Amino acid sequence: MEFEKLKMNGLVLCKPKLIEDQRGFFSETFRKDLIEDFISEKLNFCQNNTSESSFGVLRGLHFQTAPKAQTKLISVANGEILDVVLDLRKGSPTYGKHYSVILNDINNFQLLVPKGFAHGFISLSDLARVNYKVDNYYSSENEFGVNPLDDDLKINWILEKNQIIINNKDKSSMKLSQLPTYKF
């Protein structure tokens, strides 16, 4: 497994090695010891989530605050997404900036997203099945969102606005400029 530190402090792109032969491939998709050595901290993933989305579905940008903030490991079992994270750590030099990457069932990349980032994605395939490992349980009291269509964020969701399917909850989330300071 190969790990790549990204320009935003704490973000890691995980690139599992594929061992291929005439039968297909085999890959270790998660090694707790290797990723912990790479990031020099302990991870304790306690919940696994899966979502399935049709073409154009935009989910996010979601996050949880302390004491239920979450580190996430995002992967795609089927299809393709544009995965997007937004830095919400007020003291960070990349506060308010976003990072995006294509995750799919061909490259098998995974994105490790630390606490303090909002996360979302848009499905670019007919169907996308996304898996999330998280290190804290879901908490509705600590769940918040940033409007993924906030023009100030300048996120290129790749698709035209009329192709995007978004629920009312995400569409009515606050703009980044409206967010209070949160603890992560």
Q: Which residues are catalytic?
A: 62, 132
Distance CA 90, CA 120 (A): 19
Query: Maximum Cα–Cα distance for the chain, whole Å?
Result: 54
Q: What angle do CA 49, 53, 131 make, to 5 degrees?
A: 25
Contact between residue 6 and residue 83 where contact means Cβ atoms under 8 Å apart = no
Task: Tell me the three state secondary structure of residue 37.
Answer: helix
The amino acid sitting at 50 is: T
